[in-house]
Amino acid sequence: MGSYRFILSGGGTGGHIYPAIAIANELKQRYPDAEFLFVGAKDRMEMEKVPQAGYRIEGLWISGLQRKLTLKNLMFPFKVISSLIKSVKIVRRFKPHAVVGTGGFASGPLLKVASRKGIPCVLQEQNSYAGITNKLLANKVAKICVAYDGMEKFFPESKIVKTGNPVRGDLVALTSDKASALKFFGLQPNKPTLLVLGGSLGARRVNELLEEKLSFFKTFGIQIIWQCGKLYHEEYKKYENEEVKVFAFINRMDLAYRAADIIISRAGAGSVSELCIVGKPVIFIPSPNVAEDHQTKNAMALVEKEAAIMVREADLDTEFESSFSDVMLTKSLQEKLGSNIKKLALPNATKEIVDEIENLLR
């Protein structure tokens, strides 16, 4: 058998791109001679992130439907036709042995074409609420790898495998000790540390909350690692001091997680999966501005298992201080949240997804 060829398609957000890269890396480890091609949407972040990870990518002219009637929506049928034609050319030229879709609009046309040609296709659904592209493809693919229970309401039960979401390898290991992690951020070894995560671009409401509550946090004598996002760094870096470290982006997430005693985070699927592995007390503030409100659903899946606290954006003014104080001041609650969230971790997700792909190659 010559070397295998794999196409991976997904994008639009980091939540779709990073799992695809993690799956490619694991396939490459098993098949060093394999060829890889990523397919994304032309003007989205995958066009930059995938080459940085060392892979080739081709872009389709595709985007989502807007909620209201716009010029973009009128273009949508043309974009779909253009993307299907280009997908046919890509599949014909590259001749993949298997195709993996991790969600996002670009994976729709590509997996539709590949499955019609009888090429084995695997979907990876990160969220507890399935995305529209994956729902449309569900009947055409061989396997669907999911991270949450109860996904048979979206997908055929016989195709579902619960693997969890791929996370970065350095997090699974978390090898560094806490003292050196605190030192890396220039923080004190004897103070409780709060880590605040708003996603790679940042979260306006989370940043506003932090700005409002800095003096409230001071009463607990805590120090803060604040990832405010690149869109907001100019605005918030003025709060940087001995106790508050403000970052556009944190490159060493393994050290940030190690340093933290309590974490405030958005509830994107990738973040939730990482936080389960990290096993620390978390307060989720889900973004209400995402499709199908899936972040709230992701967070609720943990809250129902007493594995996290959630405060909705709409309730921050009335509920945040009491929720935070409960966690901060109750050692037993911290321990319960930390141990319950750790029980939900699926650290071997990437390997198990690639096992499924290998089964299809046979």
127 annotated as a binding-site residue: yes
Determine the residue type at 266.
R
14 annotated as a binding-site residue: yes
d(CA 358, CA 332): 44
Q: CA-CA distances (angstroms) from residue 221 to 116, 190, 194? A: 60, 10, 11
56 annotated as a binding-site residue: no
Determine the residue type at 57.
I
Q: CA-CA distances (angstroms) from residue 277 to 161, 252, 302, 341? A: 20, 16, 13, 8
207 annotated as a binding-site residue: no
104 annotated as a binding-site residue: no
Q: Contact, 259 vs 186, CB < 8 A?
A: no
d(CA 129, CA 153): 9
Q: CA-CA distances (angstroms) from residue 137 to 72, 82, 134, 261, 361? A: 23, 18, 5, 41, 20
Helices (H), 71-162: 71-94, 107-116, 132-137
295 annotated as a binding-site residue: yes
131 annotated as a binding-site residue: no
Question: How many beta carbons lie within 10 A of that of residue 222, not counting itself?
Answer: 16
Helices (H), 167-248: 169-173, 178-184, 204-218, 233-236
d(CA 333, CA 260): 16
d(CA 305, CA 127): 17
Determine the residue type at 320.
F
| Residue-level length of the chain | 362
Residues annotated in a binding site: 13-15, 127, 168, 200, 250, 295
Residues annotated in a binding site for UDP-N-acetyl-alpha-D-glucosamine: 13-15, 127, 168, 200, 250, 295
